[in-house]
Structures are given as structure tokens and as C-alpha cells.
Amino acid sequence: MWPSKAVRRRLTAVGVGLYFAWIAAVVFSIGTQLGVLPRLPPVEETVLAGVVVSTVIGTILLAKRGVEKVRDVVG
């Protein structure tokens, strides 16, 4: 069965790490909006990338659940 437990653990660790990096970028972005921290273009790009990735993953998961529900109802 793919992925193995080790691969799942590594993917989870990478995902959690990227999530915390995105949260830090959001906090930094809020700090720049408040004028407390300097404005850095990579921070805004990181926040936008995190939003896009989260939206795509959420859409895929919702579609998967929807297909499973339709399969349960139909068959």
C-alpha cells in the first residue's frame, strides 16, 4: 500500500513544517501592515502561495468526499 508509514510520517512532517512557516509569514505580514516590521516582498508571496495551496488541497478533499458520498448513494 502506498505510501508507506515512513513516507506518510515524512510527508506529514514536511506539511506541518510548511504550515508553521506559512503561519510565521502571516504573522510577519500582519506586522508589516501594522508598521512594526519592515516590508519584504517574499513574505507576501509566501502568504499568497500558502492560501493557494490550502485552497487547492481543500477543494480536492471536498471533491473526494463528494464522490464518495455519491458512490454510497448510487451503489
Helix axes 5-33, 41-74, angle to 10 degrees: 130
pTM above 0.75, yes or no: no
In this predicted structure, what is the pLDDT of residue 11?
86
Q: Where are the domains of the chain?
A: 5-74
Residue 7, class by beta-carbon neighbours within 10 Å (0-12 exposed, 13-18 middle, 19+ buried)?
exposed
Q: Tell me the pLDDT tens digit for each residue of 45-62.
A: 889 998 999 899 989 989
Q: Tell me the pLDDT tens digit for each residue of 11-41.
A: 889 989 988 999 999 999 999 999 998 988 8
Tell me if 64 sits within 8 A of 42, measured CB to CB: no
Tell me if 22 sits within 8 A of 44, measured CB to CB: no
Tell me if 41 sits within 8 A of 29, measured CB to CB: no
